[in-house]
Amino acid sequence: MEAALVDAAEILRAGGLVAFPTETVYGLGADATNAAAVAGVFEAKGRPATNPLIVHAYDSSMARQCVAHWPVRAAKLAERFWPGPLTIVLPKSELIPAIVSAGLETVGVRVPANLVARRLIERTGRPLAAPSANRSTGISPTRAAHVLKDLNGRIDLVIDGGATLVGIESTVVDVSGDRIRILRPGVVTAEQIGMAIGEEVEGAECVLGSDEERRSMASPGQMRVHYAPRTLTTRWDVTDVERFSKEGKTGLLVLGHRGFAPTWDVAMHIELNTAEMAQAGLFEALHRLDDALLDEIMIILPPEQPEWRAVRDRVLRASRLGLMRE
Ligand code: TXA
Ligand code: MG
């Protein structure tokens, strides 16, 4: 691992691209202070230039160099949640070129908890701009093999740190305005953020429609179709799903409904019973289902409880409504 880190740091300092594990998902890193290197990230992913990248710092003091101000709110959040899966959006400093933030005045920064990630940033000595290491709109990678499936030949190196622990991307919170807003739900919840700052927080609701559209504009990466398998992927309420006949080779992903037994034959059946298991295993399950060459992946939606919010958000983006097919 030490040798891989030395190589990786050298590649990054020379403007190359290195995929590395974080506690959430694998990131595709480039030196965040090097505009040409960052352009390579957009190209490798096929990412629209309008979608800003998250900057990963070794510690709070490196993160502070990336932003123009460090308000009390940010200090409280950093103290409580870093290193960890929380991205804080603040006005950016001149250290960060415009391409990183897609021309926005703000930048999202976070200090990851994964030790490989932190040692890589430390060795490189620069903040790393790193979106999830998948092709744009694809399923986020939670293993090095997922990264290679999507990006082999388009990047310089992948550091294999095994499966990621958290499994879904960081919570993104915007503290640059008057009101504190969640732009992307994750394992750090709006309630926890509100408690840490002692202010009310606008949570991201998992609804499609006009709210969703508005949120897409606030956080440009939050496109409606995202994290999508190549296979047709539909979502169903547990009460509806039996009413429709299923043809072809289907795969079933059951979220939060322990023991749900389909009345039709399924080629692959994955159950993730608790919100925590689903966070850790959702993308892994979607990769497996997508690799199984099915005609359709059907996802049974989890209960509408707060602990399922982040998983629900990802499922809504990965799938279309099952009923709309009929
Ligand atoms: O857990 C994570 O956050 C992973 C790992 C690698 O750290 N990274 C990740 O990056 O998920 P990405 O690029 O796939 O998602 C970044 C999200 C997008 O929704 C983007 O729009 C939002 O963060 N974002 C980044 N900078 C922003 C800014 N200045 N204002 C609003 N949203 C921002
Ligand atoms: Mg992503």
Helix axes 2-13, 115-124, angle to 10 degrees: 50
Cα of 172 vs centre of ligand 1, distance in Å, is: 7
Tokens of 14: 């020379």
- From 66, 87, 150, the mutation candidate for ligand 1 (largest count of ligand atoms within 8 A of CB) is 87
Ligand 1: residues with CB < 6 A are 22, 24-25, 27, 51-54, 85, 87, 89, 101, 104, 106-108, 130-132, 169-170, 172, 183-184, 219-222
* Sequential DSSP letters for 124-158: HTS-EE--BSSSTTSPPPSSHHHHHHHHTTTSSEE
Q: What is the pLDDT of residue 326?
A: 45
Q: Are 166 and 81 in contact (CB under 8 A)?
A: no
Q: Tell me how crowded residue 119 is: count the other CB atoms within 10 A of its CB.
A: 18
Tell me whether residue 312 is exposed, middle or buried, using C-beta atoms within 10 angstroms of its C-beta: 0 to 12, 13 to 18, 19 or more. Answer: buried
Q: What is the pLDDT of residue 206?
A: 45
The 3-state DSSP class for residue 182 equals: strand
* Residue ID of nearest Cα to ligand 1 atom 17: 221
Q: What is the pLDDT of residue 322?
A: 85
* Residue ID of nearest Cα to ligand 1 atom 18: 221
* Residue ID of nearest Cα to ligand 1 atom 15: 131
Q: Phi/psi of residue 10, each to 5°? A: -65, -45
Cα of 128 vs centre of ligand 2, distance in Å, is: 15
Q: From the alpha carbon of 168, which atom of ligand 1 is closest?
A: 1
Q: From the alpha carbon of 133, which atom of ligand 1 is closest?
A: 6
Q: Are 45 and 131 in contact (CB under 8 A)?
A: yes
Cα of 131 vs centre of ligand 1, distance in Å, is: 6
Q: Are 120 and 159 in contact (CB under 8 A)?
A: yes
State the number of CA atoms in the 13 A half-sphere of 174 facing the CB: 20
d(CA 295, CA 291): 11
Q: Counting ligands in written order, which one lies closest to the CA of residue 96? A: 1
Contacts of 205 (CB under 8 A, 6+ apart): 211
What is the DSSP pairing of strand 180-184 with strand 171-174? Answer: antiparallel
Task: Per residue of the chain (326 residues), give pLDDT as tens.
Answer: 889 999 999 999 999 999 999 999 999 999 999 999 999 999 999 999 999 999 999 999 999 999 999 999 999 999 999 999 999 999 999 999 999 999 999 999 999 999 999 999 999 999 999 999 999 989 999 999 999 999 999 999 999 999 999 999 999 999 999 999 999 999 999 999 999 999 999 986 544 433 444 444 445 455 555 667 899 999 999 988 877 777 889 999 999 999 998 888 999 999 999 999 999 999 999 999 999 999 999 999 999 999 999 999 999 999 998 875 54
Report the residue count for the chain: 326
Q: Are 289 and 268 in contact (CB under 8 A)?
A: yes
Q: From the alpha carbon of 87, which atom of ligand 1 is closest?
A: 3
